[in-house]
Structure 1
């Protein structure tokens, strides 16, 4: 027996329009808690996810998009849908950033995936200006806990909003890269893009 799509083929444009209308209806009905989309960038494909509060997750492809979406469904809500339009403003600001015309982001952020000291560090990271870097030790001092250098490293490594919350601007005391959720190549690319000292 043939599938319905064989009997009544749906053009790609019509399918995209139907998906878009269903997503919009889900949002209007309160059935959409986490909207997501992917974009291409100089550091590879990125997954973007947002809640009503703001951008909640930026993920590198190497993290596994399916795993990231499953984690969002577990930690925030199972009502996760692809809804590209909801992330148009985020995509536009990232495009400007990668083009070198934007040096800071003006996006509402949802920090609910972090808590305690990690969140405190992550909220401080945007204070490190475009084109500048700080060491893990300097960040520990700036957030009021100079002995928490390793904890700062952990906060950077678990940052759910890389690029937008610029953990790539934090280096080891000797100036070497340190770890990065997107990998050393992505961290190098971002620092070169910003001409970071």
Structure 2
């Protein structure tokens, strides 16, 4: 299988998008301010056991959806793009699939997602699934909050999470 990559603009900078023949494998905001960082491509190459090749224009459809999303339109990405879940297995995948069901402007706690994913008491594992998601924004892990309603983290950028939640509130 050949993996391809392109970049999609976001308010946080260009995000790396990696595709397989099955769909989007990875949407990474972790270094959106400089997605050309070689370690980012090396990291995804290691996880896929093959380096993705550049494919300019591959992310155009996703970029169009992101434009709408960041303009305040409620977009369910999973209804418009195919996801290739190969980088997520077991309970983490179950949790992320439950997270796709959280609606625009809504939130759920880590504990609530754990129950829905079939493992009550596994709130920390849900947090790990959110932290390790290969689908930032596309799977709306930013909608998962602490039991007391506080925002919590979003990788190394909790300000992104606050921005996304505020965008969806308005």
Check whether TM > 0.5: yes
Tell me whether 1:68 sits opposite 2:40 in the alignment.
yes
How far apart are 1:164 and its partner, in Å?
A: 0.3
What is the match of residue 62 of structure 2?
A: 90
| Preserved contact between residue 62 and residue 182 of structure 1 (Cα < 8 Å) | no
Tell me how many residue pairs correspond in the alignment: 165
- Alpha-carbon displacement from aligned partner over 1:128-167 (angstroms, at most 9, x marks no partner): 0011000101111111211111111111111110100000
Q: 1:45 aligns with which of 14, 26, 29?
A: 14
| Preserved contact between residue 136 and residue 173 of structure 1 (Cα < 8 Å) | yes
- Alpha-carbon displacement from aligned partner over 1:16-57 (angstroms, at most 9, x marks no partner): xxxxxxxxxxxxxx7xx2211223212332111111110111
Q: 1:132 aligns with which of 106, 110, 126?
A: 106
| Preserved contact between residue 45 and residue 61 of structure 1 (Cα < 8 Å) | no
Structure 2 unaligned spans of 5+ = none
Write out the 4+ residue segments of structure 1 that deviate beyond 2 Å after TM superposition. 61-68
| Preserved contact between residue 36 and residue 49 of structure 1 (Cα < 8 Å) | yes
Structure 1 unaligned spans of 5+ = 1-29
What is the match of residue 59 of structure 1?
A: 28
Distance 1:184 1:51 in 2: 29
Correspondence 1:75-154 to 2 at 5 A: 75-105=47-77, 106-154=80-128
Q: Which has the higher helix share?
A: 1
Distance 2:15 2:85 in 1: 18
Distance 1:101 1:120 in 2: 27
Distance 1:91 1:77 in 2: 26
Moved more, 111-120 or 90-99: 90-99
Distance 1:140 1:61 in 2: 25
CA RMSD of aligned residues (A): 1.8
- Alpha-carbon displacement from aligned partner over 1:78-106 (angstroms, at most 9, x marks no partner): 24112122221111111111112242111
Distance 2:57 2:156 in 1: 25
